[in-house]
Chains A and B, each alone.
Chain A
Amino acid sequence: MSEKKTTNTYELVKGIIKENPVFVTMLGMCPTLAVTTMASNGIGMGLATTFVLVCSNLAISLLKNIIPKAVRLPCFIVVIASFVTLIEFLLKGYIPALYDSLGLFLSLITVNCIILGRAEAFASKNNPWKSVLDGLGSGLGFTLALFLMGSVREILGSGQWFGIDLHLPVTMTVFVMPAGGFFALGVIIAVVNKLAKKAPPKELGCAGCPNASRCQTINKKNEEGGND
Chain B
Amino acid sequence: MRSLLVILLSAMLVDNFVLSKFMGICAFLGVSKKLDSAVGMGAAVTFVMACAALATYPIYTLILIPLGLEYLKTVAFILVIALFVQIVEMFLKKAVPPLYKALGVYLPLITTNCAVLGVTILNIDNSYNLGQSVVNAVGAGLGFSLALIIFSGVRQRVNAADTPAMFKGVPATLIAASIVSVSFMGFSGMFS
B41 nearest CB neighbor, chain A only? A218
| A179 close to B169 (CB less than 8 A) | no
Surface stretch bound by B, among A3-11, A55-63, A129-137, A199-207: A199-207
B residues near A29, Cβ cutoff 8 Å: 22, 25-26, 29
B99 part of interface (Cβ distance < 8 Å): no
Chain A binding surface, main DSSP class: helix
Measured CB to CB, the closest approach of chain A to B114, in angstroms, equals 4
A residues near B73, Cβ cutoff 8 Å: 107
CA distance A201 to B20 in the complex (A): 25
B5 part of interface (Cβ distance < 8 Å): no
| B114 close to A111 (CB less than 8 A) | yes
B residues near A88, Cβ cutoff 8 Å: 71, 74
- Given A74-B82, A104-B125, A186-B167, residue A181 in contact with residue B185 (CB < 8 A): no
CA distance A85 to B78 in the complex (A): 12
Surface stretch bound by A, among B52-60, B129-137, B138-146, B173-181: B173-181
B95 part of interface (Cβ distance < 8 Å): no
A211 part of interface (Cβ distance < 8 Å): yes
A82 part of interface (Cβ distance < 8 Å): yes
CA distance A194 to B34 in the complex (A): 28
A27-64 vs B, Cβ < 8 Å mask (1 yes, 0 no):
10111011000000000000000000000000000000
- Given A193-B171, A194-B166, A200-B169, residue A110 in contact with residue B29 (CB < 8 A): no
- Given A177-B185, A186-B172, residue A77 in contact with residue B177 (CB < 8 A): no
- Given A107-B74, A108-B117, A108-B118, residue A30 in contact with residue B174 (CB < 8 A): no
Number of A-B contacts (CB under 8 A): 161
CA distance A174 to B31 in the complex (A): 27
A73 part of interface (Cβ distance < 8 Å): yes
Measured as residues with beta carbon below 8 angstroms from the partner, the interface class of chain A is 35 or more
Measured CB to CB, the closest approach of chain B to A46, in angstroms, equals 16
The listed residue with most A CB atoms (<10 A of its CB), out of B29, B108, B181, is: B181
| B181 close to A82 (CB less than 8 A) | no
How many residues of chain B have a CB within 8 Å of chain A? Answer: 55
A residues near B36, Cβ cutoff 8 Å: 222, 225, 228
Measured CB to CB, the closest approach of chain A to B80, in angstroms, equals 11
Interface residues of B in 95-135 (CB under 8 A from A): 105-106, 108-109, 111-114, 117-118, 121-122, 125
B21 part of interface (Cβ distance < 8 Å): yes
- Given A85-B75, A89-B71, A193-B166, residue A77 in contact with residue B22 (CB < 8 A): no
Measured CB to CB, the closest approach of chain A to B74, in angstroms, equals 5
B residues near A180, Cβ cutoff 8 Å: 178
The listed residue with most A CB atoms (<10 A of its CB), out of B19, B20, B23, is: B23
A215 part of interface (Cβ distance < 8 Å): yes
Measured CB to CB, the closest approach of chain A to B82, in angstroms, equals 5
B residues near A189, Cβ cutoff 8 Å: 170-171, 174
Contact of A201 among B21, B30, B170 (CB under 8 A): B170
A116 part of interface (Cβ distance < 8 Å): yes
CA distance A89 to B19 in the complex (A): 29
